[in-house]
Amino acid sequence: MNKLRKIFLWQYMLNKRLFHKKSFIVLLVLIPVMVFGMKLVAKQDSGIMTIMLCAEQEGDELAEQIIEELLEQDSVIRYTVGDVETAYSAVQAREVDCAWVFREDFRQKLDAFATEDADRQAPVYIIAQEDNVALMMARTNLYGVMYSHYAYYLCENFLQNDVMQEEPVSEEELRAYFEKTAVEESIFFVEYIDQKAGEAEIPFESQEKDSLLMIPMKGLLVVFILLCGLASAMYYLQDEEKGIFAWIPAESKWLFSYGYLTVAMLDAAVVVLFTLCLLQKQVGIRDVFVILLYVGVCAVFCNLLRVLCGKAQNLGRWLPLLIIVMLVACPIFLDFGKGFVGQYFFPPTYYLRAWKNDGMLLYMCLYSLVLGVGTVGLSKLREGL
């Protein structure tokens, strides 16, 4: 009991030291504010490419309807509306990635495809600087939206020309059947391989989607926690150099160092959990447990680097490199897949992969055990030297 009180007292004292600096408090407050601000901004129209939509003929009902449907799509493509005259210059100036121009008499041109007219002309033309993978992907979207109308013309033409040649097919009647028999249920359902037993599959459209711009946020937040630990390790080395810890018995020093390193990380972890709540991520007991475990893993990692570098200046010099390598190797911006070995050297990978995957928690513990043993071995080696 007395020991526990002592630990809490130390935690309080070290925290007091941190909070004594206003800039630390400002920084902690700034994190959720910045992320929340980014979330608000990410809700605005953004995407991996921008496509200008133009109708060659003003007042072309079908073309305008398709443009409207594309604009309303929840997509990673950003659509803007323009006219044919500006389309060429916008593409040339790289203001948009390409322009889709819906030709004059769009409906008739689409109809000509359904009737397999020999003189048919493509109802859409695409203006681009060069063709690439992203534009090909975008065209699947264009075809998908056009097809929802084209399917009707296919059906109408088939009935009129192939089945019911002798009697006219009424458009109103056929449209009514189209609406009556419309299939609205999704044919794709999503199942997560790591979901809990009993959790239902969800329709594809209803799955939770993060904005592309918000995808790296969680990763950056956990790198921030780790950085708090690394900065604490530098602080520790500086204090040690000044002889501040001379009174601590040698056998208790290792425990003290872990306690010292976790103080700033725990503060950051609270801020990160709060930020995740702001991002409307479901934060439950498990998430608190995972983040606490992550703080523990980071403490071991930072301690290893502390022993390895020996001096605060050395650790400081390695930090930019470490950050760059982590930003590339860990699944923060790019996920090279679980097969990429380089990512497993850094704690953020374990947190990001353990977020919803219980199996990864075990690897997290194993990783810290290996690092912990490495730290002990290295410090013994240093003492021996």
Partner 1 sequence: MYKWNKYIGTQLKRVIKTFPGILILTLVLSLGMFLALQIIFRLHAQREENQVVQVGIVGDLSDSYLGMGITVLKNSDSVKSMANIESMSEQEAREKLKAGEILAYLVIPDGFVQSLVEGENLAVTYVTTIEAQGIGNVLINELVTAISDMVTMSQNAIYAMQTYLVEQDRNELLSVATEELNYDIIGAVLNRTEMYEMKLLGVSNHLSLQGYYFCSIILLFMLLWGINAVFLFVKDDVSIFKILYARGYGIPGQVLSELGAYFVLMLLNMSCILVAGMFFKSYLGIEIQEWEILDSGEQFLFFCKMIPLVIMISAFQTLLYELVSSVINGVLVQFVSAVGLAYISGCLYPISFFPETIQKMAGFLPTGVGLRYLQKNLSMQNVGIEVLCMTLFTIAFAGAQILIRKKRMIGK
**Site for partner 1, residues 329 to 348, rule: CB under 8 A:** 331, 333-339
Interface residue with partner 1, options 85, 119, 172, 191 (CB under 8 A): 191
Six token digits for residue 285: 């007991």
Q: Using CB under 8 A, which residues numbered 296 to 315 contact partner 1?
A: 312-314
CB 298 within 8 A of CB 240: no
Chain centroid to CA 108: 43
Interface segment toward partner 1; rule CB under 8 A; list 146-154, 291-299, 302-310, 372-380: 146-154
Kindly state the DSSP code that residue 206 receives in the 8-state scheme. G
User: Residue 124 burial by CB count (10 A; 0-12/13-18/19+): exposed, middle or buried?
Assistant: buried
Interface residue with partner 1, options 54, 63, 70, 77 (CB under 8 A): 77
Pairing assessment for the beta strands 124-128 and 77-81 based on DSSP bridges: unpaired
Interface residue with partner 1, options 8, 36, 178, 289 (CB under 8 A): 178
278 binds partner 1 (CB under 8 A): no
293 binds partner 1 (CB under 8 A): no
Interface segment toward partner 1; rule CB under 8 A; list 2-10, 127-135, 242-250, 290-298: 127-135
User: Residue 271 burial by CB count (10 A; 0-12/13-18/19+): exposed, middle or buried?
Assistant: buried
318 binds partner 1 (CB under 8 A): yes
Interface residue with partner 1, options 23, 58, 246, 282 (CB under 8 A): 23
Interface residue with partner 1, options 168, 180, 243, 284 (CB under 8 A): 180
- C-alpha to C-alpha distance for 36 and 278, rounded to whole angstroms: 7
Nearest to 321 by CA among 294, 350, 346: 346
Q: For the chain, how many residues are written?
A: 385
Measured from the CB atom, the residue of 51 and 372 that comes closer to partner 1 is: 51
328 binds partner 1 (CB under 8 A): yes
- C-alpha to C-alpha distance for 374 and 380, rounded to whole angstroms: 10
Binding mask 196-225 for partner 1 (x = CB under 8 A): -----x--xx-x-xx-xx-xx---x--xx-
Measured from the CB atom, the residue of 207 and 252 that comes closer to partner 1 is: 207
Q: Using CB under 8 A, which residues numbered 233 to 262 contact partner 1?
A: 234-235, 238
Q: Using CB under 8 A, which residues numbered 365 to 384 contact partner 1?
A: none
Binding mask 89-118 for partner 1 (x = CB under 8 A): --xxxx--x--x------------xx----
The residue type of 88 is Y
Q: Look-up: residue for tokens 């934060």?
A: 283
Interface segment toward partner 1; rule CB under 8 A; list 184-192, 252-260, 275-283, 292-300: 184-192
**Sign of the CA dihedral with 370 first, then 372, 377, and 382 last:** positive
- C-alpha to C-alpha distance for 153 and 329, rounded to whole angstroms: 50
Nearest to 217 by CA among 26, 359, 47, 352: 352
Residues 6+ apart with CB under 8 A from 59: none
Q: How far is the CB of 84 from partner 1 (least distance, A)?
A: 11
16 binds partner 1 (CB under 8 A): no
Q: How far is the CB of 77 from partner 1 (least distance, A)?
A: 8
